[in-house]
Amino acid sequence: VFECGLMHRTLDSENPSYSRYRWWRAPEIALCERYTGDKIDIWSTGCIMAELILLRPIFRGTSIFDQLNTIFDIIGTPDLTILNDICMPNATAYISRLPPKTKKDYNVLFGFKYDPVTKTMTSGVSPEGTSREINHLHLFKVLTGIDFLDCLLTFDHRTRPTAEEALSHPFLKTFHDPMDEPTKEFLVDEHQAKVYSTAEWKCKSFE
């Protein structure tokens, strides 16, 4: 997730460094006054998963305002109650002035896409099987994969899954092993508010 934008050639000649990161940033970074919790990484993971399916970044805004419009084009305009609960007042006022948008059909957006000439699959959550049994298996993978992606791209960070919850989703059942997924407790930096000289900081870094 970290520095995902560095993997892309810049398409923004005016401000390349910023555009590399905007597309994968959770909306609360721009809309909420203080919140920058760990669920921003869950949103970024959803953006990356969508990109692997679509073969292009899903939210390619040209500015912070266009980025929000691009997000709402896909997930729909959030409910005003949610906006009032988690967004800064001026952000809520701005979004309220936008034309309301409905959520895209994720089954259409992320479902199988085929080349019209070769009839081969070009994108989608999972390749199509050749027998009824395999088709049913892959249909389950597709449906659970789309539901998983829908969870990751939840606008309200309060209801977006944690890393532990996401790993427990049926889509990851084959790979999920709670015994091999240690969770790090929140790190408290005891030196954060301290004032040290350069020499003292160097000594502390080796302790």
In a domain, 186, yes or no: no
Q: What is the pTM of this model?
A: 0.75
Alpha carbons within 13 angstroms on the beta-carbon side of residue 53 total 24
CA pair distance 36, 159, nearest whole angstrom: 15
Q: Domain with 62 in it: what CATH number? A: 1.10.510.10
Q: Look at residue 196 and tell me if it is in a domain.
A: no
- For position 73, what pLDDT does the model report? 97
Is residue 199 one of the residues assigned to a domain?
Answer: no
Asked, for residue 198, whether it belongs to a domain, the answer is no
Structural domain contains residue 103: yes
Number of domains observed in the structure of the chain:
1
Give the Cα separation of 172 and 76 in Å (integer): 26
Report how far residue 178's alpha carbon sits from residue 160's, in angstroms, rounded to the nearest whole number: 20
**Residue 35's domain spans which residues?**
4-181
Write out residues in the chain with pLDDT < 50, as ranges: 10-17, 127-134
Q: Is residue 193 part of a domain?
A: no
Q: Is residue 204 part of a domain?
A: no
The sign one gets for the Cα dihedral 52, 60, 121, 172 is positive
Q: What is the pLDDT of residues 62-75, one digit of tens each?
A: 998 999 999 999 99
Q: What is the pLDDT of residue 132?
A: 34
Contacts of 161 (CB under 8 A, 6+ apart): 39, 42, 151, 152, 154, 169
Cα 199 from Cα 196, distance rounded (Å): 8
Can you say how many angstroms the Cα of residue 206 is from the centroid of all Cα atoms in its chain?
Answer: 35
DSSP states of 41-52 as a string? Answer: HHHHHHHHHHHH
- Looking at residue 42, its pLDDT comes to 96
Question: What does the pLDDT read at residue 20?
Answer: 62
- What is d(CA 138, CA 56) in angstroms, rounded to the nearest whole number? 23
Using left for φ > 0, alpha for ψ between -120 and 50, and beta otherwise, residue 56 falls in beta
Q: Looking at residue 181, what is its pLDDT?
A: 77
pLDDT given at position 11: 47
Backbone phi and psi for residue 113, each to the nearest 5 degrees, phi listed first? -125, 135
Sign of the alpha-carbon torsion through 6, 50, 47, 42? negative
